[in-house]
Amino acid sequence: MALRIPAVPPFDLTAVVKSHGWVQLPPFEWDDDNRELRTVTEIGADDEDRRVVGLRVEQLTDSDGRPVPKVRVVCEGIDEDMLGEAAREEIREQVTWMLGLDQDLAPFYRFARGEPALAHVEAQAQGRILHSPTLFEDTVKTILTTNTAWSGTIRMTRALVEALGDPLPDAPTRRAFPHPEAIAATTDAELRELGLGYRAPYVGTLAREVAAGKRDLKALKQSDLPTDEARRRLLDIKGIGAYAAASLLMLLGHYEDLPIDSWARKMVSERWHAGEPVGEAEVKAAFRQFGRWKGLAYWFWDWSA
């Protein structure tokens, strides 16, 4: 029996999947024809009963074929009927986190109505950002976005998954993102050989800290954790600076910071500074008026409006 999980409306699976480039990073796959998101994940890590599971997620429709705010999750590589309630709940939690199904963006939508460049967000159900199943996976992937072209991020992520990810039992070419213990058991030199460059010790150190219980990334997901404290903990990770911390804060539901990268500077330059080079200060100034929503305002800004 496939899992069915409701979302806070409005919800559109395609909008979440296309919210950024994350879906291009393995183990994510997106079937555009069937509008189906696939990934490979692991459950049972906490009770040392680790199992690799493939997930296929699609949005449900009503009898007239119209999408409804609910997803259907089919598990692969595991007999669904044999899944215990704890395992089903863990899968439910992971998918809810990945797609932000429990996020209520009504306050953002009320705010966006006054801005022409955000006029589309509510009608298109934009505002959710695709997450990986675990914050560890997203933190490593974020480190792999720094100071490299997007093609480099894809290459490095693929190398990590292929070399260190656990395979799906009945489809061994499909692998989960490597868990902290798997990366922790790898030397920095071996990580360099995967093409991670100088990022190798950052990824290796983070994995060893998490595996040893010295760094609790899950604790960052506490909804009542103040932004300042979440930011402080993220910046304490070697390899995470202002840009990467802002990106991860967005995934954690804190939108006060802006992930300012070369693309942000380019867009702000072209839009408000006649193509003259701009720095961090100009990007911040451009979105200051959006207060606690400035991250989402920037992320879903319609630059052609």
Q: Which residues bind DNA (CB under 7 A)?
A: 20-22, 145-153, 155, 192, 195, 197-198, 235, 237-245, 247, 259, 261-263
State the Cα–Cα distance between residues 55 and 35, nearest whole angstrom. 14
127: left (phi over 0), alpha (psi -120 to 50) or beta: left
- Minimum CB separation of residue 111 from DNA in Å reads 23
6 vs 241, which CB is nearer to DNA? 241
Q: Are strands 3-6 and 171-175 parallel, antiparallel or unpaired?
A: unpaired
Minimum CB–partner distance for residue 215 and DNA (Å): 13
**C-beta closer to DNA: residue 152 or 169:** 152
Q: How far is CA 278 from CA 285, 286, 296, in A?
A: 11, 11, 21
Q: What is the sign of the dihedral through the CA atoms of 107, 113, 118 and 123?
A: positive
Q: How far is CA 159 from the centre of its chain?
A: 19
What is the closest distance, in whole angstroms, from the C-beta atom of residue 87 to DNA in the complex? 31
Cα gap 247→135, rounded to integer Å:
12
Q: Which is nearer to DNA, 263 or 272 (CB)?
A: 263
**125 or 245, CB closer to DNA?**
245
Q: Closer to DNA at the Cβ: 168 or 240?
A: 240
Shortest distance in whole angstroms from residue 80 CB to DNA: 33
**Nearer Cβ to DNA (171/189):** 189
The distance of closest approach from Cβ of residue 203 to DNA in the complex, given in angstroms and rounded to an integer, is 12
**What radius of gyration do the chain's Cα atoms show?**
19
Pick 198 or 272: Cβ nearer DNA:
198
* Amino acid type, 275: G
Q: What's the closest the beta carbon of residue 172 comes to DNA, in angstroms?
A: 25
Q: 194 with 206: CB under 8 angstroms?
A: no
Is residue 107 within 8 Å of residue 87, measured between CB atoms?
no
Closest distance of CB 119 from DNA, Å: 23
CB of 202 to DNA, least distance (A): 7
Alpha-carbon distances, residue 220 vs 2, 41, 44, 161, 248 (angstroms): 30, 20, 20, 24, 10
Phi and psi dihedrals of 289, rounded to 5? Answer: -65, -15
CB 148 within 8 A of CB 161: no
Which residues on adjacent β-strands are paired with residue 74? Answer: 56
Instruction: Rank residues 129 and 168 by Cβ distance to DNA and give the closer one.
Output: 129
